[in-house]
Each structure stands twice: as C-alpha cells, then as structure tokens.
Structure 1
Amino acid sequence: MTWQETDEKGVFSRPIGENETYIKLLGDTGLPLNREQWAINSTATIVPTGSFASTDLAAHFRRAWMHQRFQHPSLAAEVAPDDTHFIYTRRRRRRLLRGRDPDLPADALREAGLHPAVRGAARHTAHWRTDGMGVLLLLDAFLSLASGPAPLADPASLAWGTEIARLAPAIEDAAAVPKESTPELKERGAALVNAFSHVVGAVGIPYLGDAATLPAGTRSAALVLSPETTEKIVAACKARGVSVTVAVHASVAAANYVLADAAARDRHYTSTVRFALRPYLPEPYSTPAFAAALYTTGWMKRVEAGASWAEHLQSYRDEYRKGITRDYLDSHREYAAQLGELLRNLSQSGGDQPPPSDVDISSIGNAEKIIRRSYGTSEAGFEVKAVSVGVEMLSRQAATFVWTFRDQLNLSAVYNESFHSAEQMNQFVSTAKAKLLEGLGVQDS
C-alpha cells in the first residue's frame, strides 16, 4: 500500500488501509449533517513572550502551517472519488513563486483545520489522518516551527516534491501485518469483533430528546486537579501497582453507574481499552516524523454491575497489562476489516436497539512527554499554559479524555449538547473525580 504516482503527474495515491476504513466509516455517519463523527482536535493555550507578544500571530501561524504541511504531507491527503484510495497532490513550487495561489493559506488551513488565535492554537482534522498521540505530536511540531525566527522562510523556498517520501503508510503496512489472511487470523479477528456485542444492553446515562433529535454542538465538561492532588494520585497508583489510566477507567465506570437510571444499574458496563501503536512500530514509523497517521487501536472490555471499584480496578489492570503482542498486530488487518463490515451491516439494518449512551474513556497519559511547557526563548517564544484533546461527538455517547500537563491531571468529558446538559456532564466528571479519590484513599488538596 505504498504511495504511487498516478497517471496525472504530481498526484500520488494509495489504497485506504483497513483501520483507516473503519475509522472513516464511523466519521462518515456525520456526513448527512455536513459533520464528521470523531473528527479529532487538540488545543494549546499559549502566552507569547518577548517580540512574539506584538507579532501578527495569525499570519505567522499560517506560514508555520505551510512549513508543517511540507514536513507532514499526509495532512493534505484527501479521499479519492472512488472512496477506496487516498490521494495527495504535490504542491508546485512554480505556482507558489508566481503567486498564482492567492488562497494558499486558507487552503492549507482547510486541509487540516488549523485555526490560529492570539492566545492559542487549535488543530481539527479527520480522525483517519491521525490519532490522540499523533495530534499532540503535530501540535508540538507546529509550536516548534512557530517559535522559530520570525518571519519564517517563504514556503515557496521549500523543496516541494521531496515531501512525497514522508507520506505515511497505513498501519497495516507500517506494522508489517500479513497481507494474506489465514483461518487463524480470521478467528482472532472475529474474537475481537465479537466483543463489540457487549455494547448491546450495557449501562448508560440518561439522554435528552428522542430518535428524531439531531445532534448540535460538541461541548466538554472539564476538571483540572491541583499538582498536589495529582502527585498523591500518582503515588497511590504506584503503591497499588496500577497506572493512573487504570484508576481513572475504574472511576469512569463507577460514574456511569452513579448517573444511570436506577432501573439500569444492574446492567454490565462496556468501554474501550485503547493503545497507541507507535511504540510497537519500527523506525521511522515510531517517531514523531509520522505523526500524521492513524496508528492506534483498541478493543471492548465488559465489567459487571455490582462489582466494587477495587474489583473493577483489578479487572482493568489485568486488561491493560495484556498490551500489544505480535499476534495481535498480525491479526489487526483482519480485525479492522471485520469491524468495517460490522459497521456497514449495522447502517443497512438500522438496528432496533436503543442507542448506547455510555461514557467511554480515552487516555493520553502524560502530555508533557510530547508538549513542552515553553517553546523558543523569553525574547521570542511561547509559554504553554494548558493543552487539550477531544473529538467531535454526534451521538448519545460521550468520552472522558484523560491527560496530565504541568503536573495536573485533566478530566474532560466530551459530549453533544443535544443529548446531554452541561449540568449533567459536569456532575459526571465530578463523580469520576470523587470515585478516583475515594478509591485511592486520597484527600483533595
């Protein structure tokens, strides 16, 4: 699935990978509304320092974006009319030099949705282009570029054409997944897909509206814990031999039960165990150079009603410890292909079950492993005060994003305002926090 030049000079193409197909199918459910389910975004709240405080950051960011588009050309990939291939059109230096591309900055922003602002930078793009870790890696790369000397070099001076070598392959190729399936791979893939059946009949939180209610805007309810409380949480997790992600996962499960209708609290809870695949890939695909790629995975995990927080903690600890094995990677093409087929069948049948309304979890871990607290210098640079990650949510489900930055644990429940109120979702993250502190025996500071 390597990129190849098409019959049209300067236009390159490759087949859409199985994992990309699955995520794209999910995203396409929002197309009737001119939206995209799970479009991914990240933000950085920044304070310009030195000369940057008086710099036209909008113009500066546009030029930095063009440099990043050169470094990460997959950001400009589009879906071909056949809906089975990605295409990339090489920027032509001659067009840039002759000024025949007056809308180039707007085009560039439209391709990956980078929106400049005086006090921050936000990236919004299709999920099939990148993932949670990737979108932060891209934000880090962008801030590194933007903190360089102003003005940045004219994008026309870049060696357009050489960027083709940096177009990202699909995860199936990056991980050297077997191209031909076998009965064993099909069986492993089917076992992973069958776990999605646990979504049916699972506990969820109440939602507004009915079957005819259309989604409105995506919103978030966020909490930032103090450095002192975060330090206590980390220490308590280490003492129990679990990660902070595992402890928060158990707490998100508990919050689902607290907010569920009383009649639904005897149902099981189903959520996603997610892994970044980048650490399991060979170089260069494991490096930030391939941030603009969908290199993530996950599977469904069921826990039972009536179990204690400690029991859920143990269950999730055991699940996360499975990690990513070579057998799992080898099965991934088959797994994703079967998931895609499942989605197609669901969309055709329409389904007669009520829509799921659970609150899932997505953990980024320590964002400071990716995003620095400052870029450039005090004479010309940026202080990064906060970061965030989220997705466009068009369904009755919600997702709690978890990360640490500046020694502070962040919980952010992303939801659609047509189906959930701000009061309800603020209560959800407050409940998850309370369950976390209670379960770990930690006092808030």
Structure 2
Amino acid sequence: MPTLRKSEAEADLDISKIVYHFPSVAMAFSWTQASQTHWERSLGGMEEYLAIASNTPVSVANGRQQYTIFSALKLNLTLPNADTEASLRHAWKQLRHEQPQVAIAIDINQKKMSYDVPDESALEEWLSSTFIVSPVSSADELYRTAGGITHCTLYYIPASSELVFRAPHAHIDGMGTIHLWDSYLSALAAPVADVRFGDENVRLAPTVPEILGKTSPPTEEEVSKASATLLEYVTKLPAMGTPSRVGRAAASFKECRTTELVLSVKTTSVIIAACKERGISVTSAVHAAYISTIARHLDPECDQSRYTTISPFSLRPYLPPPYNTRHYAAIFCYTPVPFSIEMPASFSEIASALNKSYRTRLKDHPEFVELTGPYTHMVAQLVQSPEGTTAPIPTDAMVSSLGIIENNLKRSYGDAVTVTSFKMAIDVVDGMSAMHVFTFDGQLRAVYSSNDGSEDPSQIETYLAEVEGILNEELLGLRRPL
C-alpha cells in the first residue's frame, strides 16, 4: 500500500479531492470482444494498483518486479504417463482452458487486461514461454535467481520434484494461488485428452465490483466512506517500523530472500489450544508477537507511538457462485483493510485488538464489501498521485494469513499426486516486505519475504526467533521452545 507523510493539517486532507475521480457513467468492468479472438476489459482498482506498484525499474532488479507471487510445492508423482514433463505440460494447457485468466496480459498504460483465444501455433508459443523445466537444484534456488516475468508461469524442477508457480500479483492473490494449485493438481490427476480452445471466453472473470453487481458510479456518500477508510490508514503514517534501507537512496537490489519460521507439530498444537482458550485466532497471536518484536527493534526515526498496517482481507467468501470456488482461482479479490493500535501495548492487548479486526471488520460491516469498487479505485489513484509516488514505504512486513492450507489444497489427488510441502512468498525488490502465516502438515509456519539490499538477513532471523519466543512465553508460559 502507498503511504503518505502525516500532514500537519490532516483534518483538512481530503483524499477524494487529491486523487479520486469516477466517470459520470457506469464503469466498463465486463469483458468485451474486440475481435473474433481478442477479449479485453478495464482493470479493477487493486489490479491497477498492483500493476503500477510492481512497475519498478527492472533494469536494476534483473527484470524482477515488486509483489510477484511465488509458490512452491514438493510432490511425489506416480503418473500413468511415464513422461512426467509431458503430463505436467498437458495439465498446464488443460488449466488454461478451464481457467483462461492464467493467460491474460495486462497493459498498464491503457489500464486494461486482455485475452486471446489461441490457435495451435499461439498455444504452443504460450506453453513454451510459461511452462519451464528448470535446471536449478531447488525452489529456493529458483526464488533467489529467477528473472522477471509478465505472465503466470509454471516451473518444474526435476532435481527436487518441485513445482513453482510465479505470477504478477495483479493477476492473482495468495488464496487464489492455493485454489489454482488445487485445480492444476486435479487436472494432473484426471487429464482430459482432447482439449479444444475457442469457448473459454465465457469463463473469463469480471472485476469484483462487477461480480458484486456494483458497476454504477458511486454516490457522494460512498465516496466519502471510501475516502474515510483510506484516511484511516494514511493519516497515521509513518508509524512503527524496523531499521531498513527500503525506498531510500542507500537501498540497492540484491537478492530476493525468504526466511522461515517452522514450529513443530507439538508446539503448533499447544499454541492452537492456547489460542482457543483465550478466544483469539492463531493469526492474531502470531501478528501480535511480530508487533511486540518490532517494538524491541525500532527504527529510531519512526513514530514509536503507534503501529499501523494494512491487512489483506479475502473477498472470496462474499462472492456468489461460481466466483467463490476454485474454478475462478486466477482472479485478484482481496481488499486492504487498515489496522492501527497505540503503543506501547501488551501482547494480550495487541492480540485482542487484532482478533477483533480480523474477525469482525468485514463480517460486521458488510457495507465495506460493497465499497470495494470506489475504495480500491481510490487506492490505485493514490499510488499515481504526487503524494503517493513520493511517499515513504513502510519498513515493517505486511502480515498475510493463508489459514490451514489443507482446507483448500488436498494432500493427495488419487494415486497420482501427493503433496509433501507447501510454500508461499512474494518477490521484494524495493518495497514493503511480507510475512505469510499459515499451517501445513500440522506445523505453524511464517515465511518472511525480503531483499538483501534493504534488510539484513540475520536481523530477520532474529525477528522470527523472537516471534517464536514471545508465542511460547505469552501463550504457553515457557521461556524455551518445546
């Protein structure tokens, strides 16, 4: 999310006047046919924001872009076809037919996305450029060394029996990526021999406001409410953060890196039990432990009186069928919700406040879901404004919860596929770091995505170790890990 320096006259700061504009007629969200084989539609608010935010100077970043999705699975495969590569490639083609948005292109200058129905030659070209058999030793090596991409891309790493999915974030979100894995592995386990293209345009998804039936220009009241939500975030920045060179002249792109905290099955189970006893979610506990850790390692230049962040909330539970199913995985449908708490505060106070926000912010305020269109459009306009382009970047990591992975991704698909590991991360070039929190195989995990040019890897290891220590101490009354 973009950030603004706190104005001395913040009461007079009207985001709607600075960056917000809607046409006087309904916006074109639906797909339209531009030619016999070419379809296009306007970008939604968060799609536009992410497409702009990821458009970093790629010449200094090996072509990589901020926020590119990176997800890896380790598999045991016993496919009927002895040619594993051919089976994986065919499943990727089958997935494109089922979910054509894996093959969309985004033109940020025109603020449009497009899809072309492929002939045989175009299909082969797409497969050659987006299904890649990689010679690297592991998914971790690929994460560190991969170049930039502009389309959803699937990598097969024979050396480690891993699959890696990478995509510009404007194409898909984290929960969508999990659903996409489920769809892909289902196609791998149950291949369709004859996949014929030509009708897939009917499966292209409109923007979230279109799905929700909110395509009319917003009212003045809706603009005011959306503006107030964004002000809730930007007027409380800059806030608490850790020492970092992100967004500063001293920063330089080095190597994308993930640092992981993986708790044992035993520790995870007792933490879950302790959270249930306290009436808080596991995500709230982990996030509270991270905030408490930040408070121990503050950037001396930051405002130490409050912690402020944006939490990504999935809108999939609020979408009607079939858009809330795995069959529409390749869409972006989360909305960023502000959260702020005055500091200093205890772990219990922070966890309680977070838990209330996570559990009730959308559930108790359904009107916020309906404001998705004007609110996210406003976010996209802000990042293009002078205030947005010159704003400091938060130096804490954005915490994103994926829940229990097995709720949306099976551990096995028939006798052909067994999933033995899961990972989610993003590319960090010169922007906000991220920490994905989830449970897989009974183990609570936190994956911290960063860049060596902005943050010291050893310091991140310290942060995660302290997160574990705080969870043990606050929830379990232990001063040492189990």
Residue aligned with 2:74, SS: strand
Cross-structure match for 1:162: 199
The correspondence for 2:220, drawn from 183, 187, 204, is 183
Please report how far the alpha carbon of residue 433 of structure 1 lies from its aligned counterpart in structure 2 after TM superposition.
1.6
TM-score, normalised to structure 2's length?
A: 0.83
Q: Secondary structure at the match of 1:362?
A: strand
Q: Distance in 1 between matches of 2:316 and 2:389?
A: 35
SS at match of 1:397: coil
Residue 332 (structure 1) aligned with residue 379 (structure 2): no
Aligned to 1:43: 72
Give the AA of the match of 1:27.
S
Structure 2: gaps (5+ residues): 1-28, 132-148
Is the counterpart of residue 130 in structure 1 residue 172 in structure 2? Answer: yes
Distance in 2 (alpha carbons) for counterparts of 1:252 and 1:81: 35
2:35 matches 1:13: no
Q: CA deviation at 1:214?
A: 2.2
Letter in 2 for 1:112: C
- Superposition pairs for residues 15-414 of structure 1, below 5 Å? 15-29=42-56, 31=58, 33=60, 34-49=63-78, 55-80=82-107, 82-92=109-119, 95=120, 102-109=124-131, 111-118=151-158, 119-148=161-190, 152-153=191-192, 157-198=194-235, 200-208=237-245, 210-261=248-299, 266-324=304-362, 325-346=365-386, 350-351=390-391, 353=392, 355-377=393-415, 381-395=416-430, 397-414=432-449
Change (3 A) 1:373 1:312: same
Structure 1: any 5+ residue segments left out of the alignment?
A: none
Contact 1:270 1:300 in 2 (8 A): yes
1:14 is paired with a residue of what secondary structure? strand
Structure 1 residues 349 and 388: CA distance shift in structure 2, 3 A = closer
Query: Structure 1 CA distance, aligned partners of 2:206 and 2:198?
Result: 17
Counterpart in the other structure of 2:142? none
Q: Give the TM-score taking structure 1 as reference length.
A: 0.90
Query: Any idea what the Cα deviations from partners look like across 1:161-198, whole Å, max 9, x if unmatched?
Result: 12111111111111222421111101111011112325
Distance 1:50 1:11 in 2: 35
CA contact (8 A) 1:181 1:334 kept: yes
Aligned pairs, how many? 427
Change in 2 beyond 3 A, CA 1:349/1:235: closer
**CA distance, structure 2, for counterparts of residue 212 and residue 45 of structure 1:** 37
* C-alpha separation in 1, matches of 2:458 and 2:405: 28
Look up the match of 1:431.
Answer: 466
Matched, 1:4 2:32: yes
Is the CA contact (8 Å cut-off) linking 1:270 and 1:301 kept in structure 2?
yes
Higher helix share: 1
Partners of 1:310 and 1:299 in 2: CA distance: 21
Equivalent-residue separation in structure 1 for 2:336 and 2:108 (angstroms): 29
State the Cα distance separating 1:321 from its structure 2 match.
Answer: 2.6
Q: Distance in 1 between matches of 2:450 and 2:107?
A: 31
Residue 56 of structure 1, CA deviation: 3.8
Sort the Cα spacing of 1:2 and 1:309 in 2 relative to 1 into closer, same or farther, 3 A: same
Q: Distance in 1 between matches of 2:92 and 2:436?
A: 26
Note the C-alpha offset of 1:13.
0.9
CA distance in 2 between partners of 1:395 and 1:263 (Å): 19
In 1, distance between residues paired with 2:80 and 2:267? Answer: 36
- Per-residue CA deviation, residues 383-433 of structure 1 (Å, 9 max, x unaligned), is 211101111112353221100011110111111111112211111111112
**Identity of paired residues, percent?**
26
Write the distance in 1 (CA, Å) between the matches of 2:198 and 2:79.
36
Cα distance change on mapping 1:289 and 1:30 into 2, 3 Å: farther
**Alignment-mate amino acid for residue 70 of structure 2:** N
Deviations 1:189-227 (A, max 9, x none): 101111232563312111258514322222111011111
Q: Kindly indicate whether the alpha-carbon contact (under 8 Å) linking 1:57 and 1:116 is maintained by their aligned counterparts in 2.
A: no
Q: Which residue identity is paired with 1:404?
A: T
Deviation at 1:139, TM superposition (A): 1.1
Of 298-307 and 119-128, the range deviating more from structure 2: 298-307
Listed one character per residue, the Cα deviations across residues 314-360 of structure 1 (whole Å, up to 9, x for unaligned) are: 11122123232331122111111211121111477634x5x431122
Determine if contact 1:69/1:75 at 8 Å carries over to the other structure: yes
One-letter code aligned to 1:174 = I
Residue 397 and residue 82 in structure 1: after superposition, are their counterparts in 2 closer, same or farther (change >3 A)?
closer
Change (3 A) 1:198 1:437: farther
CA distance in structure 2 between the partners assigned to 1:265 and 1:348 by the alignment: 19
| Mapped pair 1:419 → 2:454 | yes
The whole-number CA distance in structure 2 between the counterparts of 1:277 and 1:58 is 35
**Separation in 2, partners of 1:30, 1:436:** 39
